[in-house]
């Protein structure tokens, strides 16, 4: 389904009916410094390298229950430069979350998630040079969540990610993992 290389392989990974299944390890996360003052580079990420502009589409389902449980997509350059996005369970509800990390500092944006938090959730990340466009599929249409600046080399790693910062055992079912040419800039 999706070939790649694990960065922090989860303790449990398997295929089930064509889906990639992941169960997260204990206290895993991606976060660099800002506000909290800690460095966490232990989240699970299945990366596939691609050169230049591209679009990644990820669909997943998960039973979010613990504070900061999260699943979605990631672009990874190195430990100081990366982006993750998806559903994050915080303050007792699911939110659509985006973290962009550059120069070893993470920022975090969240918005309410109005769909079923257990999924399926479909998101799309597009690279246009050093600009990242993060969209989510809601009510049958793509909606822009964030446009972010992330300086990147020609080749970066793209793929699904999952974490359990305050626990373990989040089970995520990834049913769609597509990496291909970038959508047009005009595309909604």
Q: Average pLDDT for consecutive 10-residue bins of the chain (188 residues)?
A: 90 96 96 79 96 97 94 96 96 94 93 87 97 95 95 96 94 97 82
Cβ-based burial of 35 (10 A; exposed 0-12, middle 13-18, buried ≥19): exposed
CA 161 centroid distance within chain: 5
| Neighbouring C-beta atoms of residue 69, cutoff 10 Å | 26
Can you read off the two tokens belonging to residue 159? 């793929």
What dotted CATH number matches 5-180? Answer: 2.60.120.200
Backbone angles phi, psi at 121, to 5 degrees: -115, 135
* pLDDT at residue 187 in the model: 62
The answer to whether 40 and 30 are in contact (CB under 8 A) is yes
| In the chain, where the domains are located | 5-180
Beta strand residue intervals within 113-170, DSSP E: 121-128, 131-138, 141-149, 155-163
* pLDDT at residue 1 in the model: 61
* pLDDT at residue 40 in the model: 86
pTM assigned to the model: 0.95
């Amino acid at each position: 389904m999706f070939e790649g290389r694990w960065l922090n392989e989860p303790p449990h990974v398997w295929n089930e009916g064509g889906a990639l299944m992941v169960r997260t390890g204990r206290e895993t996360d991606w976060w660099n410094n800002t506000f909290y003052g800690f460095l966490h580079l232990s989240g699970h990420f299945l990366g596939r390298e691609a050169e230049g502009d591209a679009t990644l589409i990820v669909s997943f389902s998960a039973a979010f229950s613990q504070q900061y449980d999260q699943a979605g997509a990631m672009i990874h350059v190195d430990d100081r430069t990366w982006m993750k996005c998806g559903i994050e369970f915080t303050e007792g509800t699911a939110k659509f979350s985006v973290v962009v990390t550059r120069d070893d500092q993470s920022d975090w944006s969240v918005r309410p998630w109005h769909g079923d938090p257990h999924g399926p959730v479909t998101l799309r990340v597009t690279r246009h040079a050093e600009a990242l466009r993060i969209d989510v599929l809601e009510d049958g249409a793509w909606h822009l969540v964030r446009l972010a600046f992330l300086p990147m080399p020609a080749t970066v790693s793209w793929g699904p990610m999952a974490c359990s910062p305050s626990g373990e055992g989040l089970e995520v079912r990834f049913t769609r993992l597509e990496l291909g040419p970038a959508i047009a800039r005009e595309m909604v």
